[in-house]
């Protein structure tokens, strides 16, 4: 029966090709626009590390100016001072922890034709790698001992290893970075969390760094401070060391805590720490320390761009227009079929039969519109990629759940659009229709 109705539906679509094309196009455009925008929003607000985003916490301490808040929402500064970052690391109270910073330096590859170039660097502690499940192609993270002893060890990104060493296992090789020799201890596999949650201060969708090395090297090698440096007070001592020991914030810190109890304990530890610092004359503001898990942190830092949200609103309204369009056209179409429906009813079709038949017709419009919409969404995402360039590099790929969502959205939309016209079609009074023939 169903296949017969489907055949009837397709026949009916063929009878008014323009009208059918218009309906399919309307559904396709609406779904395409929505899917494009939903994809961008979905990727922007995606959980970058779903299996443990609730165990990873961003650490904020309020070390700021007594006379001014850092932010209208009375949040602590979004980064830590060197003093606090290194003190919290030395205390080591969490299961895993890594303070970090972004930096950059000149790399001088060996070989006559190899040119020196600037590389981006993530300074971190050994826990960075297991904490964020960073995949290794060769070698392994450096050790906690390397952190403590300020050893010149480096982990390369896959792209860097390809560039410098032609993709071979370069563990054990040495490399001149920032004017000193480093030993390669590991090479990462491709790794690009979206959003790049571990450091949102320099752009939430930036690519991961070229090189990774111990943060403890920052002081002895006087490594550059990239990213944002914010100071409420000038350094009291001169020079690089004076900057590190100042109240300027430029460091991020993440801790891994397994449960609520561990989180409460760590927060208590932070409060104790802040109180101890108050006795040393620091932390002039009221206690305001925070631990935010990954998704909370993404929300606080407003990772989803306002423009993307505005587009989401507009695209749903767009879909609504397309649906209204389809409803109106279906209504007109089904009402023209009243004589035919009257005839079918008179020779024995029940209301239910008529209902199923017409809903199937509407549904087939939905499926066709959905397929068209998917194509348009792919096109739309490509358009977004072209318009935003590198800013949207990691935000324009469809995955299987999104494809299914697109089809479901199209089907749901068309069935919703088909319900009322179908119901009206079922109300046809057979005797009246036959009389007027």
Partner 1 sequence: MRDLGPILRAMLRNKTGALLIAIQIAVTMTIIVNAVFIIQQRIELMARASGVDEANTFYLSSVGFADDFNAKTTVLEDLAALRSLPGVVDAIQTNAVPMSGSGWSMGLQTEPGEEFDGTGVAVYMIDDHGLNTLDLELVAGRNFTPQDILWREPAARNWPDIVIVTQAVAEALFPDTPVADVVGKTVYINDDESINIVGIVDKLQAPWVGWGAVERAMLSPERTLFNSAQYLIRTQPGQRDILMPQIEEMLASSNKGRIINNLNTIEDTRERSYRRHSAMITILITVMVTLTLVTAAGIVGLSSFTVNKRRKQIGTRRALGATRGDILRYFMLENLLISSVGITLGLILTIGLNMVLVNRFEMERLDWFYLPLGMAALWLLGQLAVLGPASRAAAIPPAVATRTV
| Contact set with partner 1 (CB under 8 A) | 18-19, 22, 25-26, 29, 33, 65, 67-68, 105-106, 108, 115-118, 178-179, 224, 233-235, 238-240, 242-243, 305-307, 309-311, 313-315, 317-318, 320-322, 324-325, 327-329, 331-333, 336, 383-384, 387-389, 391, 420, 424
Q: Which of 400, 303, 373, 322 is nearest to 44 (CA)?
A: 303
Between 65 and 293, whose beta carbon lies closer to partner 1? 65
Between 202 and 275, whose beta carbon lies closer to partner 1? 202
Closest distance to partner 1 from the beta carbon of 220 (Å): 15
Between 4 and 420, whose beta carbon lies closer to partner 1? 420
Between 310 and 346, whose beta carbon lies closer to partner 1? 310
63 and 77 Cβ atoms separated by less than 8 Å: yes
Between 10 and 328, whose beta carbon lies closer to partner 1? 328
Between 290 and 424, whose beta carbon lies closer to partner 1? 424
CA distance 198 to 45: 14
Between 51 and 435, whose beta carbon lies closer to partner 1? 435
Closest distance to partner 1 from the beta carbon of 259 (Å): 35
Closest distance to partner 1 from the beta carbon of 327 (Å): 6
13 and 334 Cβ atoms separated by less than 8 Å: no
The CA–CA distances, whole Å, from 275 to 189, 287, 312 equal: 42, 8, 45
Between 113 and 145, whose beta carbon lies closer to partner 1? 113
Closest distance to partner 1 from the beta carbon of 435 (Å): 14
Closest distance to partner 1 from the beta carbon of 264 (Å): 34
Closest distance to partner 1 from the beta carbon of 314 (Å): 6
| 3-state class percentages of the chain: helix first, strand second, coil last, to nearest 5 | 50, 15, 35
The CA–CA distances, whole Å, from 291 to 8, 109, 195 equal: 61, 41, 19
329 and 19 Cβ atoms separated by less than 8 Å: yes
CA distance 171 to 186: 6
Closest distance to partner 1 from the beta carbon of 418 (Å): 13
Q: Which of 218, 210, 207 is nearest to 187 (CA)?
A: 210
For 99, counting Cβ atoms within 10 Å of its Cβ (0-12 exposed, 13-18 middle, 19+ buried), the class is buried
Closest distance to partner 1 from the beta carbon of 228 (Å): 9
For 411, counting Cβ atoms within 10 Å of its Cβ (0-12 exposed, 13-18 middle, 19+ buried), the class is buried
CA distance 24 to 26: 5
CA 249 distance to own-chain centroid? 26
358 and 334 Cβ atoms separated by less than 8 Å: yes
């Amino acid at each position: 029966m169903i296949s017969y109705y489907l055949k009837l539906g397709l026949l009916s679509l063929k009878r008014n090709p323009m009208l059918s094309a218009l309906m399919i196009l309307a559904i396709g455009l609406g779904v395409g626009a929505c899917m494009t925008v939903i994809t961008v929003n979905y990727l922007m607000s995606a959980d970058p590390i779903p299996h443990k985003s609730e165990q990873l916490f961003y650490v904020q301490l309020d070390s700021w100016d007594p006379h001014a808040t850092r932010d209208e929402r009375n949040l602590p500064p979004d980064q830590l001072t060197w003093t606090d970052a290194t003190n919290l690391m030395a205390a080591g109270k969490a299961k895993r922890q890594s303070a970090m910073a972004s930096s950059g330096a000149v790399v001088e590859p060996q070989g006559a034709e190899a040119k020196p170039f600037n590389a981006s660097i993530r300074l971190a502690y050994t826990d960075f790698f297991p904490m964020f499940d960073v995949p290794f192609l060769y070698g392994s993270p450096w050790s906690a001992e390397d952190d403590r002893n300020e050893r010149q060890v480096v982990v390369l990104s896959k792209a860097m290893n390809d560039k410098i060493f032609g993709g071979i296992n370069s563990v054990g090789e040495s490399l001149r970075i920032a004017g000193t020799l480093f030993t390669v201890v590991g090479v990462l596999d491709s790794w690009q969390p979206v959003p790049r949650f571990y450091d949102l201060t320099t752009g939430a969708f930036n690519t991961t760094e070229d090189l990774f090395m111990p943060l403890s090297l920052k002081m002895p090698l006087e490594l550059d401070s990239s990213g944002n440096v914010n100071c409420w007070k000038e350094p009291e001592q001169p020079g690089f060391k004076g900057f590190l020991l100042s109240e300027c914030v430029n460091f991020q810190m993440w801790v891994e805590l397994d449960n609520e109890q561990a989180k409460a304990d760590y927060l208590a530890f932070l409060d104790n720490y802040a109180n101890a610092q108050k006795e040393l004359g620091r932390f002039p503001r009221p206690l305001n320390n925070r631990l935010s898990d990954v998704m909370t942190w993404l929300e606080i830092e407003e990772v989803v761009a306002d423009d993307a949200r505005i587009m989401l609103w507009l695209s749903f309204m767009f879909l609504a227009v397309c649906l209204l369009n389809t409803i109106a056209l279906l209504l007109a179409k089904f009402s023209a079929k009243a004589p035919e429906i009257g005839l079918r009813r008179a020779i024995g079709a029940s209301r239910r039969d008529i209902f199923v038949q017409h809903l199937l017709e509407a549904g087939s419009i939905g499926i066709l519109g959905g397929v068209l919409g998917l194509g348009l969404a792919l096109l739309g995402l490509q358009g977004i990629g072209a318009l935003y360039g590198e800013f949207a590099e990691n935000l324009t790929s469809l995955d299987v759940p999104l494809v299914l969502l697109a089809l479901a959205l199209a089907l749901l939309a068309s069935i919703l659009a088909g319900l009322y016209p179908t119901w009206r079609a079922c109300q046809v009074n057979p005797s009246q229709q036959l009389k007027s023939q």
